[in-house]
């Protein structure tokens, strides 16, 4: 076991994802902003997380709520300005928090000056910064590639007589990463943010950066199950438009840059890749810790919430990662239904114990710590273009305003956010920070206990993992150990009491965290788990 003080920060921290639009509105326009976030840094620092991942704040026409970037080196006035962002970096650092920003590498907004130039005419020096292609003889798109958000991935540009590629919306043209000028321009963007003090990047859509230069058609999908049902896009095997083998040398270059631009403090590359096989996912760590520091691991989100299935995912991660690679887990994001909506409140508590005691960097999605749930947004009130284009696939439900208090607009904003953005979930009367802070049995108290324990326990931060076979049915038990320190984690996924005689090495210990407020009790040989109970036990 390596010495933990030599480990990079991103191995021992807990990340917290902030969907900026929905976190805290300071200027009263109904939309979350940087000033609002600044005001909540104290909350985040005392929560016990150590890094913030901030979704896009760049100038944007907001067709994809900031993931359509019109200027990578600026702040959209809706969110604040550069000096507020600088203050945020300073305040975060002052409070021991790292700042990871979202960088969308795959595409820009159609309003980005690069694309405005590119579409002017075929001779424009920026033409080749995007992916343009001639129509087929019959005028149809160059191939059968599909947009994730529905329809063809190609948009016809009448004036210049060619199609351009957009993996997402037509307002989000794909950059041509095979052009060295594009790569250089994006490195320049990263230098800018690193100089400003940013500690790492969530590299959005990293999976899509390189495509087949021959633009070959994708074959139809194999009958094997897709990651999740996202409509026609799932009906193709994405052989040629994503996960291209040339991603590996590109990731090596990006990693080399992140490690060496400020060698005294290497920056993190945390890459977004969906729908990969395990082998493909692990391949993006590189051959020798030389590609992404961590490809984000969404696998627990797409797994049936059962003890055996969850254990299988964890042990797949444990067995497939080389010794030098570091695991990570997330149970929610702004692109997916919320955790408690998927598994229910009681199991949401089990999930919290799991996430914060596994070996690997956890990422908490804002509001998860109070058990926020998805809100049903009627189609006519939907904001997310994906949902508007493909009913049922909208992501608004998981993006409603953060619930700070039981009072008006959940103290998210002085204005009613429904008029400008999304409504506050009516469950904020119970599900909110202020009420939960003072209740010992609340979800928030459970998160705070777990975060405090993790931050102060080497075995949970960096210790080994071992799955334990003596767990009763529907339960998942594991051991985390570092030197002489040993922790037993016992999770009951069943809605029934489970009883288990503990083998000798495991039957003496003190309960440090329980989903059922059984802290400070000693284990006495026989472990009885209440229904939906999770425990963290320090073994003697
Ligand atoms: C990233 C974001 C997602 C967005 C997509 C396309 O994957 O997570 O919210 O829609 O990029 O821009
Ligand atoms: Ca605002």
* CATH code at position 527: 2.60.40.1180
Select from 98, 130, 165 the last residue of a domain: 165
Residue nearest to atom 9 of ligand 1 (CA): 335
The whole-number average pLDDT for the span 519-534 is: 91
Measured CA to CA in angstroms, residue 165 lies from 130, 175, 253, 267, 470 at distances of 8, 9, 24, 31, 53
The whole-number average pLDDT for the span 136-161 is: 97
Select from 127, 142, 165 the last residue of a domain: 165
Grade residue 7 by pLDDT with cuts at 50, 70 and 90.
Answer: confident
The answer, yes or no, to whether any atom of ligand 1 lies below 6 A from the CB of 519, is: no
Q: What is the pLDDT of residue 1?
A: 40
| Ligand 1 atom closest to 68 (CA) | 12
Quick check: is 458 in a domain? no
Quick one: which ligand is closest to 21's CA? 2
Mean model confidence pLDDT for the chain: 96
Do residues 99 and 153 share a domain?
A: no
CA angle 505, 511, 514 (to 5 degrees): 130
Residue nearest to atom 10 of ligand 1 (CA): 64
The answer, yes or no, to whether any atom of ligand 1 lies below 6 A from the CB of 336, is: no
Tell me which residue range forms the domain holding 490: 464-539
Q: What is the pLDDT of residue 229?
A: 67
Quick check: is 368 in a domain? yes
Grade residue 230 by pLDDT with cuts at 50, 70 and 90.
Answer: confident
CATH number of the domain encompassing residue 62: 3.20.20.80
Over residues 122-137, the pLDDT tens digits come to: 999 999 999 999 999 9
The whole-number average pLDDT for the span 414-423 is: 97
The whole-number average pLDDT for the span 90-101 is: 98
Q: Quote the percentage of the chain above a pLDDT of 70.
A: 98
Measured CA to CA, the distance from residue 411 to residue 400 in angstroms comes to 13
Residue nearest to atom 12 of ligand 1 (CA): 67
On the 0-12 / 13-18 / 19+ scale of CB atoms within 10 A, 419 is: exposed
Quick check: is 459 in a domain? no
Quick check: is 288 in a domain? yes
The whole-number average pLDDT for the span 81-104 is: 98
Q: What is the pLDDT of residue 224?
A: 64
Do residues 68 and 183 share a domain?
A: yes
Do residues 50 and 193 share a domain?
A: yes
Question: Per-residue pLDDT for 145 more than 50?
Answer: yes
Report the candidate in 291, 311, 278, 199 with the shortest Cα–Cα distance to residue 250: 291
Q: What is the pLDDT of residue 268?
A: 98
Measured CA to CA, the distance from residue 456 to residue 48 in angstroms comes to 10
Do residues 383 and 423 share a domain?
A: yes
b/e sequence 9-45, b meaning 16+ C-beta within 10 Å:
ebbbbbbbbbbbbbbbbbeebbbbbbbbbbebbeebb
Do residues 273 and 407 share a domain?
A: yes
The whole-number average pLDDT for the span 94-109 is: 98
**Is 248 within 8 Å of 265 (Cβ atoms)?**
no
Measured CA to CA, the distance from residue 503 to residue 468 in angstroms comes to 11
Quick check: is 300 in a domain? yes
Quick check: is 174 in a domain? no
Over residues 32-57, the pLDDT tens digits come to: 999 999 999 999 999 999 999 999 99
The answer, yes or no, to whether any atom of ligand 1 lies below 6 A from the CB of 396, is: no
The answer, yes or no, to whether any atom of ligand 1 lies below 6 A from the CB of 353, is: no
Do residues 436 and 337 share a domain?
A: yes
Do residues 390 and 338 share a domain?
A: yes
Distance 419 CA to ligand 1 centre (A): 24
Grade residue 4 by pLDDT with cuts at 50, 70 and 90.
Answer: very low
Do residues 344 and 250 share a domain?
A: yes
Grade residue 223 by pLDDT with cuts at 50, 70 and 90.
Answer: confident
CA angle 93, 97, 100 (to 5 degrees): 100
Number of domains in the chain: 3
Q: What is the pLDDT of residue 217?
A: 98
Do residues 217 and 328 share a domain?
A: yes
Do residues 133 and 213 share a domain?
A: no
Distance 170 CA to ligand 1 centre (A): 14
- Ramachandran angles phi, psi of 63, nearest 5°: -70, -30
Quick check: is 456 in a domain? no
Quick check: is 509 in a domain? yes
Measured CA to CA, the distance from residue 328 to residue 371 in angstroms comes to 21
CATH number of the domain encompassing residue 126: 3.90.400.10
pTM: 0.97
| Residue indicated by tokens 């305003």 | 401
Do residues 515 and 435 share a domain?
A: no
Quick one: which ligand is closest to 333's CA? 1
Pocket test for ligand 1, best of 20, 64, 165 (most atoms within 8 A of CB): 64
Do residues 187 and 289 share a domain?
A: yes
Question: Per-residue pLDDT for 478 more than 90?
Answer: yes
Grade residue 228 by pLDDT with cuts at 50, 70 and 90.
Answer: low
| Ligand 1 atom closest to 334 (CA) | 9
| Ligand 1 atom closest to 168 (CA) | 6
Q: What is the pLDDT of residue 231?
A: 81
Select from 450, 473, 503 the last residue of a domain: 450
């Amino acid at each position: 076991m390596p010495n933990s003080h030599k480990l990079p920060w991103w191995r021992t921290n807990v990340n917290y994802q902030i969907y900026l639009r929905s976190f805290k509105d300071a200027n009263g326009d109904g939309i979350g902003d940087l000033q609002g976030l600044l005001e909540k840094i104290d909350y985040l620092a005392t929560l016990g997380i150590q890094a913030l991942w901030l979704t896009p704040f760049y100038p944007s026409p907001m067709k994809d709520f900031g993931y359509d970037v019109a200027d990578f080196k600026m702040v959209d006035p809706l969110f604040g300005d550069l000096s507020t962002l600088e203050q945020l970096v300073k305040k975060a650092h002052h409070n021991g928090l790292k700042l990871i920003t979202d960088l969308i590498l795959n595409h820009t907004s159609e309003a980005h000056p690069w694309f405005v130039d590119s579409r002017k005419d075929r001779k424009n020096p920026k033409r080749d910064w995007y992916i343009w292609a001639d129509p087929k003889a019959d005028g149809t798109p160059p191939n059968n590639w599909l947009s994730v958000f529905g329809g063809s991935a190609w948009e016809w540009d009448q004036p210049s007589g060619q199609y351009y590629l957009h993996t997402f919306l037509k307002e989000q043209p794909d950059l041509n990463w095979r052009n060295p000028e594009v790569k250089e321009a994006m490195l320049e963007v990263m230098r800018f943010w690193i100089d400003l003090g940013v500690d790492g990047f969530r590299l959005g859509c990293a999976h899509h950066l390189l495509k087949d230069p021959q633009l070959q058609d994708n074959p139809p999908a194999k009958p094997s199950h897709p990651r999740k049902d996202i409509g026609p896009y799932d009906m193709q095997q994405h052989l040629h438009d994503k996960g291209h083998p040339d991603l590996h040398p590109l990731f090596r270059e990006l990693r080399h840059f992140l490690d060496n631009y400020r060698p005294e403090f290497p920056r993190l590359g945390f890459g977004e890749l969906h729908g990969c096989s395990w082998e493909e996912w692990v391949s993006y760590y590189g051959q020798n810790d030389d590609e992404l520091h961590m490809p984000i691991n969404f696998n627990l989100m797409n797994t049936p919430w059962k003890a055996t299935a969850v254990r299988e995912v964890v042990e797949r991660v444990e067995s497939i990662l080389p010794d030098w690679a570091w695991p990570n887990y997330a149970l929610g994001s702004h692109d997916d239904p919320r955790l408690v909506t998927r598994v229910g409140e009681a199991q949401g508590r089990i999930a919290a114990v799991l996430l914060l005691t596994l070996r690997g960097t956890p990422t908490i999605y804002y509001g998860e710590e109070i058990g926020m749930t998805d809100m049903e947004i009627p189609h006519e009130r939907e904001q997310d273009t994906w949902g508007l284009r493909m009913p049922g696939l909208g992501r608004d439900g998981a993006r409603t305003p953060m619930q700070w208090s039981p009072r008006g607009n959940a103290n998210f904003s002085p204005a009613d956010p429904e008029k400008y953005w999304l409504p506050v979930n009516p469950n904020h009367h119970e599900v909110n920070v202020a009420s939960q802070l003072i209740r010992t049995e609340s979800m928030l108290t459970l998160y705070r206990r777990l975060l405090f324990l993790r931050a102060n326990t080497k075995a949970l931060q960096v210790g080994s993992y071992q799955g334990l076979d003596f767990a009763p049915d529907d339960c998942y038990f594991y051991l985390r150990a570092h030197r002489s320190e040993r922790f037993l984690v016992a999770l009951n996924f069943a809605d029934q009491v489970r009883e288990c005689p503990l083998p000798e090495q495991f039957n003496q210990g003190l309960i440090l965290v329980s989903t059922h407020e059984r802290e400070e009790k000693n284990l006495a040989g026989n472990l009885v788990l209440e229904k939906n109970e999770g425990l963290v036990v320090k073994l003697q």
